[in-house]
Structure 1
Amino acid sequence: MTSSYRQPGVVLTDRRFHVPLDHGAPGGEQIELYAREAVAAGKDPAGLPWLVYLEGGPGCGARRFIGGQAWLGRAVQDYRVLLLDQRGTGNSTPATRQTLPLRGGPAEQAAYLAHFRADSIVRDCEAVRAELTGGAPWTVLGQSFGGFCTTHYLSTAPEGLRAALITGGLPSLGATADEVYRAAYPRMERKNLAHYRRYPMDVERARRIAAHLAERPATLAGGHRLTTEGFQSLGALLGSGDGSHQLHYLLEDAFVRTPAGHELSDAFLEAVQGHLSYAGHPLYAVLHEAIYAQDPEQPTGWAAERVRAAFPRFDAARTLAGDEPLLFTGETVHPWHFDTDPALAPLRETAHLLAERTGWQPLYDRDRLAANDVPVAAAVYHDDLYVDTAHSLETARAIRGLRTWVTDEFEHDGVRAGGPRVLDRLLSLVRDEV
């Protein structure tokens, strides 16, 4: 059953599908997928080709646009757009601290979540495509982790694709999680230093907040415990176009004077909670390192935490003992996240079992990518905080016919910040118009 409604410039239709939890056992348990179809007001959807959008993450539902925001307004000029909530996210059968106990204990939960990587997401797309298009290929737009899924799509089911568009999401075809993070920490440091050059007053502000939290970790709404390491996680903001400015405004009024002395303000703590809580996307934390797992013999083993030890400038205690700027981190998940965030704490053992899991299968087929004949275009953002540029360009060279647009005009969120222009450029590339 579907329902349709209008927003400015678009007609939206809710759609639901049922797919196997394990596509290797199609007769087994089924889960539900939710997607929102968007068509330009006044256009006949029957005459439009499909474009399916795969959001970044992992573990994030498709963005909830209002009307033709960001890139969607450009997309509906040419396409019937499907905004898919990937399995476990948004309105698709949810996987959270509240629902996962229905599976059983941590071992059963980990076994269940092993089916939530790019390989299963692509097979979901193929099941949905067969139902919606009658077998006709469609175009995929993959942002960030959605680009990882799109690369897997090209590796395993290119016959389902009319074209592939990737923004900030060309993965390494072979790097381990350790190698991904060894490349990531130097990028994090560069982003920090660029922020401090722009806002030199933030050096002392960040050190002061970190020193305060080192002595007195704060308790946020709902029981979230803010530690110095958690505060450093705000560096994830530095990967977006306006993130440095957001971080500056967050730091500028962190303290208020009270009868007991200076304290972190309620307004600051509430804003931090909004940035750091995983309540709305717990699978991002639980499955984050699993998206890099491709060696059947090698667990990820909390790679970001282990690799961090090789970059002592990120050690807050060491920094506060000296006079260096505090370095914020980026897109990293650590065991302590599952101690400090109430949305993750019940999933601590599940996450540990996934970190120690072996048997992960390769996600990308180099031979098939080398023989690719699907038109592909990728926006590669220069010095992207989240996805290593060198890794992306190496992959671009490995995919036959892929055309890249390398730019420093945008950060990782370019398809949001400059959506119509970014999408228009990628469409021009796959259509061989530039």
Structure 2
Amino acid sequence: MRVTMPGLTAVDHEFTVPLNHDDPGGASIRVFAREIADPAKAGDDLPWAVFLQGGPGGKSPRPSGQAYFRHILKTHRVLLLDQRGTGRSTPAQPAGADYYRHFRADAIVRDCEHIRKALGIPQWDTWGQSYGGFITLTYLSLAPEGLKACHVTGGLAGLDATADEVYARTYPRVRDKTAAYYRRYPEDAAKVERIAHHLESNEVLLPDGDRLTHRRFQTLGQQFGMSDGYESVHWLLDEAWHGDRLSDVFLYEVMTITGFIGSPLYALMHELTYAQGAATEWSAERLRPKDLDEPGTFTGEMIYPWMFDEIRVLRPYKETAHALAADATWGPLYDPVRLAANQVPVAAVVYHDDMYVDAGFSLETAARVGNVRTWITNEYEHNGFRADGEKVTARLMDMIAGQV
């Protein structure tokens, strides 16, 4: 299907790929992708770029003239990939751990290569946002011959960082972001404590029937890593109360933000992005600081086993989640030797204050991968690609071209 809207033309594609690429005759799944181009250039033979969304478990953006693609579309057509299990691809569904072993970055890369060859594209560029940058490193490890140039926004993973090492650095950053939030909105400290005490003393139900617990309320802190994160929580608290009960507006928004609606794959796969040769064993839960039990504290981009008991969307995945967390047989996602010898040009923006992807790990990786140029900035939070897309994309493309 072809659709033209202000600023771009979109064409839908569907591909059938093996669930397990090592067993091409076995079960298959559907992978959806949407091609976008400048309407004035839709018929031109433009080079291709594939967009690798963050997550894991996030569908590709739905096009509506976003500024963050505008500069890329001046010279390229872009394929917006709904990674397996997301969006219009075969959706995530309750299944065993053996099924979800095939949903990591290596499988996504092999889907990309299947699609690239099906479309007859000799090579293409990649744009990797957040987890999409992790996938980019796996792509460079497994199939660099398919790549012309790579652009990464806030997504250079630590090549051998374990989940424990990641969370050892993440928890202090969340604490710092929370402190910065209260410096900006000091009056919110009393509001947060009031809600925390209310949730501890009362059974509060969300619109879908889930109980809103204090620890689920704390996960709103995952917003703090975005450019508008403090404001989104501040204004949510501004309308939190209707008399002596929490308002319907507040409860509905909290349910939506914290309920993994449409993204159970994120909860299942998040810690597994750091699993190479060892079990994660619920790393975020094991490393959780005890002071997070106190009112007024927040957590960030962490997945906890209690979520699979307390969150309606995740309950059907509980057994699978525990099996995946206990699995110690994960293979490597990156090839350090091949990455060290990399010849594909890579331009990466590293956000100095990134709450989700540790800048220290990112710079260590940049030093270990050949042909990488980095732009280090504290001008943006983790969503710099969306917040100031034209500037960010233009800068990275100029870096690849050797113009800056």
| TM-score (norm. length: structure 2) | 0.98
Offset of residue 216 of structure 1: 1.5
Pairing 1:314–2:292 present:
yes
2:113 matched residue in structure 1: 126
Structure-2 separation of matches of 1:242 and 1:191:
13
Q: How does 1:150-189 map to 2 (within 5 A)?
A: 150-189=136-175
2:351 matched residue in structure 1: 381
Which of 5, 12, 15 is residue 13 of structure 2 equivalent to?
Answer: 15
Offset of residue 251 of structure 1: 1.2
1:323 matched residue in structure 2: none
For structure 1, the 5+ residue unaligned runs are: 104-108, 321-325
Pairing 1:409–2:395 present:
no
Asked if the contact 2:9–2:42 (Cα under 8 Å) also holds between the matched residues in 1, the reply is no
Which of 293, 302, 319 is residue 275 of structure 2 equivalent to?
Answer: 293
Which of 157, 181, 198 is residue 212 of structure 1 equivalent to?
Answer: 198
1:57 matched residue in structure 2: 55
Q: How does 1:38-187 map to 2 (within 5 A)?
A: 38-66=36-64, 68-96=65-93, 100=94, 103=95, 109-132=96-119, 134-187=120-173
Structure-1 separation of matches of 2:203 and 2:332:
41
Structure-1 separation of matches of 2:209 and 2:4:
39
Structure-1 separation of matches of 2:42 and 2:388:
27
Asked if the contact 2:141–2:334 (Cα under 8 Å) also holds between the matched residues in 1, the reply is yes
Structure-2 separation of matches of 1:44 and 1:193:
48
Pairing 1:269–2:267 present:
no
Pairing 1:29–2:27 present:
yes
- For residues 78-137 of structure 1, the C-alpha deviation after alignment (integer angstroms, 9 at most, x for no partner) is 1110000000100001113xxx3xx5xxxxx210010000000000000100111x2511
Structure-2 separation of matches of 1:92 and 1:251:
36
Asked if the contact 2:31–2:84 (Cα under 8 Å) also holds between the matched residues in 1, the reply is yes
* Shift in CA distance, 45/289, structure 1 to aligned 2, threshold 3 Å: farther
- For residues 361-393 of structure 1, the C-alpha deviation after alignment (integer angstroms, 9 at most, x for no partner) is 011111111111101011111121111110111
* Shift in CA distance, 162/411, structure 1 to aligned 2, threshold 3 Å: same
Offset of residue 253 of structure 1: 2.5
Structure-2 separation of matches of 1:135 and 1:363:
25
Structure-2 separation of matches of 1:275 and 1:225:
14
Runs of 4+, deviation exceeding 6 Å? none
Structure-2 separation of matches of 1:418 and 1:135:
29
Offset of residue 314 of structure 1: 1.3
The one-letter code sitting in structure 2 at the alignment partner of 1:271 is E
Structure-2 separation of matches of 1:428 and 1:135:
23
Task: Give the percent of matched residue pairs that are identical in Structure 1 and Structure 2.
Answer: 50
Structure-2 separation of matches of 1:303 and 1:46:
49
The one-letter code sitting in structure 2 at the alignment partner of 1:150 is T
Pairing 1:248–2:234 present:
yes
The one-letter code sitting in structure 2 at the alignment partner of 1:300 is T
Offset of residue 70 of structure 1: 3.0
Structure-1 separation of matches of 2:139 and 2:50:
12
Structure-2 separation of matches of 1:64 and 1:273:
22
Number of paired residues?
404
Q: How does 1:415-430 map to 2 (within 5 A)?
A: 415-430=385-400
Structure-1 separation of matches of 2:40 and 2:69:
16
Structure-1 separation of matches of 2:399 and 2:181:
33
For structure 2, the 5+ residue unaligned runs are: none
Offset of residue 28 of structure 1: 1.5
Structure-1 separation of matches of 2:368 and 2:276:
18
